[in-house]
Amino acid sequence: MTLRHAKRLFHSVFTRLLIVTLIAGMAITFTVIVGFIAIRVHSKGALERNLLLYVEYLTDDLGIPPDEGRAREIARRTGMTISYAHGDQSWQTGPPPRYFNPNRAWVRQRVPGIWVGSSKGHHFVRIFHGGGELTFIAPRDMHHGKEAGWILAGMAATLALILGGAYWVTRQALGPLRKLKAGVDQAGKGKLDHRIPRSGSSEFCDLADAFNAMAERLDHLLHSKEQLLLDVSHELRSPITRLKVQLEFLKDSEMRESLGSDLAEIEAMITSILESARMRHAAAVLNLESVDMGQLVRSLAAGFAEIEPGVAVGELADVSAVVDPEKIRTVLRNLLENALKHTPEDGTAVSISMAAAPDRIDIVVADKGEGIPASELPHLFEPFYRPDRSRSRKTGGYGLGLSLCKAIVDAHGGTIDLASTPGEGTTVTVSLPRSADSQQS
């Protein structure tokens, strides 16, 4: 996983909610454990008090000096281990419990001459009696330990089920957000006909309805704007034709030539608008085929050999891609023409190169021309947008070329990015998927 994907995953709402759920689960578990420990400590004190009271009865029962036979009978009935140490009269009713180590036990003195402690869950009491040291060891209940283990395992399994259920519920609840993001991505690519299905809670349904209504209005406005432009451009052809006819009867040749030039420019603009609209509609219809991209770039660059300062072909990856070759040629031709148009004839040649990745190819067109201000970059792919409005249309065009390039690249499922620094030049990167499956996804 790359650093960018890791940051994106960490900053997602779903991940944060999941982290909150995990922290809440851990806090609940910690609280339960602390509660169990507090109960155990409290019950341990009560156990010791009861054990001391019981040992007092047993001590009286054993007599002075302690009766070994009686001690063995008590040990058999209670499961205790009783030992007595007094010179040559030392005895023990049986081996101490497993893992019991009195030298490493936790010991405290309750009253003078009486010690109470525990080792590995085994409690013991040591007292002075009959001139010697009498020890009672109460082993822990092994079955109780197993039951406690099963209880803890059950708690862990229950907690895992709770967290798993919280994960599933959270993911289901935030599912509409992923659909909304997909809709926003589609709208950002210009696919305003995409609609978000209504699902989830009422708030998400309202959000989906608001997005769909917004996309529909934008689609309608853009379609109306484009249709109006086409209608006006088409209707202007007739009066321009009549003006050209009338212009032939004008006696002043200088004025006739000047007006004719203006009419030719207007006619060229109308033709460019209509042709661009036709090509934008056709951009979505792709005739895909496997194309040797290196050969395509070389053949295209060869067509600019006689235009100063020329096109230098850089490193080209020998790969193929499933594209519409004619439309990709249109994209690259427009980019090279723009780069040459804004590079001095005695300047550095425009370069074109290509790199390949497992799933895409990157075609880079770079020039060392005049460059574009940073404030203009976000608008360059908008139709009719021209960074330098003082340029003549003869050299600056009508602001339709980059818009058409973006429409074609978007139809291929790719991206087109532009970076520029005034006085240093401009670099355009076209990324295209290598397979048709990548384009459909």
For residue 115, the cross-strand partners are 109, 126
Share of the chain above pLDDT 70, in %: 78
Residues 124 and 13 in one domain: yes
- Close Cβ partners of 1 (under 8 Å, ≥ 6 residues apart): 9
Residues 227-254 have a mean pLDDT of: 74
The pLDDT value recorded for residue 397 is 58
Which burial class, exposed, middle or buried, applies to 335 when counting CB atoms under 10 A from its CB (0-12, 13-18, 19+)? buried
What integer is the mean pLDDT of 307-332? Answer: 89
Ranges 247-256, 284-293, 337-346, 351-360: which has the least confidence: 247-256
**Strand arrangement, sheet containing 106-111:** 91-92, 81-85, 132-138, 122-129, 114-119, 106-111
User: What's the CATH code of the domain at 206?
Assistant: 1.10.287.130
Tell me the pLDDT tens digit for each residue of 108-122.
Answer: 766 677 878 777 777
- Domain end position, chosen among 248, 264, 280: 280
Q: Indicate whether 210 belongs to any domain.
A: yes
**Is the domain of 264 the same as that of 301?**
no
Residue 165 lies in a domain: no
What tens digit of pLDDT does each residue of 159-169 get?
A: 788 777 777 87
pLDDT given at position 44: 61
pLDDT surpasses 90 at 352: yes
pLDDT tens profile 377-431: 888 887 767 665 444 444 455 667 788 888 888 888 899 999 999 988 999 999 9
Give the count of beta carbons closer than 10 Å to the beta carbon of residue 321.
Answer: 26
413: left (phi over 0), alpha (psi -120 to 50) or beta: left
Give residue for tokens 């390039």.
Answer: 405
By the 8 A CB rule, do 116 and 52 touch?
yes
User: Rg of the chain over CA atoms, in angstroms?
Assistant: 44
Q: Is the pLDDT of residue 46 over 70?
A: no
Q: What is the mean pLDDT of the chain?
A: 78
Residue 291 and residue 254 share a domain: no
**CATH number of the domain to which 365 belongs:** 3.30.565.10
Domain final position from 144, 163, 192: 144
Query: Domain check: are 222 and 297 in the same one?
Result: no
Secondary structure of 149-186 as H, E, C letters: HHHHHHHHHHHHHHHHHHHHHHHHHCHHHHHHHHHHHH
Could you tell me if residue 33 is inside a domain? yes
Does 196 map to a domain? no
227 with 368, same domain: the answer is no
432 pLDDT above the threshold of 90: yes
User: By the 8 A CB rule, do 18 and 168 touch?
Assistant: no
Shared domain check, 307 and 436? yes
Q: Highest mean pLDDT: which of 11-25, 91-105, 250-264, 341-355? A: 341-355
Q: To the nearest 5 percent, what fractions of the chain are helix, strand and coil?
A: 55, 20, 25
Give residue 9's pLDDT band: very low, low, confident or very high (50, 70, 90).
low
Please give the pLDDT value at position 232: 67
Report if pTM > 0.85.
no
Percent of the chain with pLDDT over 90: 14
Q: Please give the Cα distance from 147 to 141 (Å, whole number).
A: 10
Q: At what angle do helices 253-283 and 202-247 cross, to 10 degrees?
A: 150
Q: Give CA–CA dist 96/28, Å, rounded.
A: 39
Mean pLDDT of 209-218: 82
- What's the CA gap between 323 and 409, in Å, rounded? 10
- Per residue in 270-313, pLDDT (tens digit) is 766 666 666 656 555 678 899 999 999 999 999 888 888 889 99
SS3 of residue 307 by DSSP: coil
Evaluate if residue 24 carries a pLDDT over 80: no
Q: Tell me if 109 is assigned to some domain.
A: yes
Instruction: Identify the domain containing residue 342 by its residue range.
Output: 287-440
Residue 211 lies in a domain: yes
> How much is the pLDDT for 265?
75
pLDDT tens track for 134-193: 888 887 765 555 666 677 777 778 878 877 777 787 777 777 777 787 788 777 766 777
- Residue 323 banded pLDDT, cuts 50, 70, 90: very high
Domain co-membership, 29 together with 61? yes
Give the pLDDT of residue 35.
Answer: 72
Q: Looking at the structure, do residues 421 and 402 belong to the same domain, yes or no?
A: yes
Would the CA dihedral through 73, 75, 81, 84 be positive or negative?
negative
Asked whether the predicted pLDDT for residue 20 surpasses 60, the reply is: yes
Indicate whether 270 belongs to any domain.
yes
Question: Of 223, 257, 280, which residue constitutes the final position of a domain?
Answer: 280
Within-domain flag for 179: no
Find the largest Cα–Cα distance for the chain: 150
Two tokens at 175? 């599912």
366 and 233 belong to one structural domain: no
Q: What is the rounded distance in angstroms from the CA atom of residue 4 to the CA atom of residue 16?
A: 17
Q: How many whole angstroms separate alpha carbon 185 and alpha carbon 180?
A: 9
301 and 339 in a single domain? The answer is yes
Same domain, 399 and 341: yes
Domain count for the chain = 3
Q: Are residues 342 and 428 in the same domain?
A: yes
Q: What is the mean pLDDT of residues 60-73?
A: 85
